Structure formats: C-alpha cells, structure tokens
Amino acid sequence: MATVFAASDREECAASADNSEEKIASCARFIADATETAEARARAYDSRGRAYSSKNDHERAIDDSEAIKLDPNDVGAYVHRALAHFKRNELDSAIADCSEGTKINPSYPVAHNNRGLVFFRKNDYDRAIVDFSEAIRLNGAYASAYDNRGFAYAAKRDLDSALAD
C-alpha cells in the first residue's frame, strides 16, 4: 500500500525551510509515496540531503544521494553531495562530484566554482583559478567566483590579478 502524504509535504520539502526536522520529515513522507515519479522523488531526496547538511549531518546528506540514482543527470544533486564531501574534508570525492556535474552540464557555473573551492583548499591555486575563470565566463555577474579567483591569485602572490578581481 502506498504511503499517502499531505499536499503540504511537497511544498515543505521543496521550500527553504528554517526547520530542518520538519523539512526532513516532509521529504521522507514524499519519498515514501510510490505514486510519485522518480524525478519528483529525486528532488525530494536532494532536498532532504540539503536539510541534513544544514544540520551539519553531512554523512546522512551523502548517504541520501539516492537522488543521483533516480536521476543521474541532476547536476544539483552532484553539487550538493560535493558540498557535503567538502565539509567532511573528503576533497577527492568532492572534486569527483563537481567534475561529474560539469560533464552533465558544462554550462552550470556553480559546479565549476565549487570545484575551484576544493582545489583552493588543496592549495592547487592554478586549477582553482581555471575553474573560477570558467564560472565567470559562464556567468559574468557571478560575484562569488570573482572573489574566489581573487583569493586564489592572492594565495599565489599575484596581487595585481587579485586586485583586478
């Protein structure tokens, strides 16, 4: 028998809720509804994973990557899982997830920017600059990518380039 969820569960699961526990519960009910499409359930898994991350429960956020199995072309799910890996200092896994995101959608600047952040943490400033620059090329208004590239240039002691950003 399929689990029935309240109409509000869909909204609460998709919303940027302040109450992570409520969001997690709403998403769990939504995920359990076998009448929902795989794509809709993938969004719910991804949303629940982000709620776990907001509670600093990054292990559960990573474990909740069923979204990727249900919709392997969801760039956002890879980027969100990469962030959880990053916060656990699992840098190679974070790079792998961001790289998969850039393969699926090379025009998604967030995947490039976030991979750049991982390279920055690994002190690989040249590769970080390449990724930040690609994010900027894709979205010239991406202020965080400019800031991040400036920090990478500064870490390389290229102050002129850092100040230009």
57-116 pLDDT, tens digit per residue, is 878 877 777 888 888 998 988 998 999 999 999 999 999 999 999 999 999 999 999 999
Residue 18 pLDDT greater than 70, yes or no:
no
pTM of this prediction?
0.80
Q: What is the pLDDT of residue 103?
A: 98
Instruction: Tell me the torsion sign for CA atoms 121, 122, 126, 130.
Output: negative
Query: Minimum mean pLDDT among 52-61, 93-102, 132-141: which range?
Result: 52-61
**Which residue's structure tokens are 């950003």?**
165
- Separation of alpha carbons 138 and 93, rounded Å: 24
Higher pLDDT, 19 or 3: 19
Q: What is the pLDDT of residue 92?
A: 98
- Separation of alpha carbons 136 and 72, rounded Å: 26
**Which residue's structure tokens are 């907001």?**
54
Q: What is the pLDDT of residue 4?
A: 47
* Nearest by Cα to 38 from 81, 73, 14, 79: 73
- Separation of alpha carbons 133 and 19, rounded Å: 36
